[in-house]
Amino acid sequence: MSTKIAPSILSANFSILKEEIEDVIQGGADYIHIDVMDGHFVPNITFGPVVLSSIRPLTDATLDVHLMIEEPDRYIQEFADAGADIITVHVEACRHLHRTIHLIKEAGVKPGVVMNPATPVEMIKPILKDVELVLFMTVNPGFGGQVFIPEVLEKVQQAVKWREELGLAFEIEVDGGVNEMTAKQCIDAGVDVLVAGSAIFNEQDRQGAIDKIRNHE
């Protein structure tokens, strides 16, 4: 199956967000990746459920909502009501990860777990059977346009092994510094979904940019 591409709207032009989203959908995007930042868990602030609810009517594509916020339990229902298809929460931000993942499920949304580059992969093993997506950050979260951290791919390979051994079906996604150069290493390691912000939105030809990442040539 071909690798899925999830353009991160963090690098889009927010003054024409509707056109930006339509452009990447037309260009072949599979998911739209939506980075929610609270200025506490990460040193940046973006947007919340109100903006998500304005994006929802624009597309049937999967809205992949990445919560980079402290105590995400407080906002799960609001993001579910606003139209999220997937909600991912950071293992580092959840005191009771199992409870949070089940709150997402109960809200009718696909649950995912995310980890930062320096977090050991063993932290997510107990929750793998409960999630539909595992997201490995390949930069420290907070900003677009950073440099890819290749060591994270060892964690991707471990997750691929566990998925086989445990007979599970979660998708594996990476986010940060993904471009036509780094995409090949990710795909070779077993990644299913590539999030890319600047490598897509900084290009005029979004379809060309998406094709280059997906086909990594």
Q: How many helices (H) and strands (E) does the chain have?
A: 8, 8
Binding-site positions: 8, 33, 35, 66, 142-145, 175-177, 197-198
Is residue 205 among the annotated active site residues? no
Secondary structure of residue 70 in the 3-state scheme:
coil
In whole angstroms, give the CA distance from residue 27 to residue 131.
29
Residue 49 binds ligand 5SP (CB under 6 A): no
In whole angstroms, give the CA distance from residue 164 to residue 48.
36
Residue 146 binds ligand 5SP (CB under 6 A): yes
Q: Is 139 exposed, middle or buried (0-12, 13-18, 19+ CB in 10 A)?
A: buried
Which positions ≥6 away from 184 have C-beta within 8 Å?
A: 216
Q: By C-beta, is 94 or 137 nearer to ligand 5SP?
A: 137
Residues 151-180 interacting with ligand 5SP (rule: CB under 6 A): 175-178
Among 4, 5, 11, 23, binds ligand 5SP (CB under 6 A): 11
Is residue 35 among the annotated active site residues? yes
Site string for ligand 5SP, 188-217 (x = CB under 6 A): -------xxxxx------------------
Binding-site positions for a divalent metal cation: 33, 35, 66, 175
Q: Which of 94, 166, 163 is nearest to 123 (CA)?
A: 94
Residue 21 binds ligand 5SP (CB under 6 A): no
Q: By C-beta, is 100 or 198 nearer to ligand 5SP?
A: 198
Active-site annotation holder among 23, 35, 64, 192:
35
H-run or E-run covering 33: strand 31-37
Secondary structure of residue 16 in the 3-state scheme:
helix
Q: Which residues are catalytic?
A: 35, 175
| Positions in the binding site for ligand 5SP (CB under 6 A) | 8, 10-11, 33, 35, 66, 139, 141-146, 175-178, 195-199
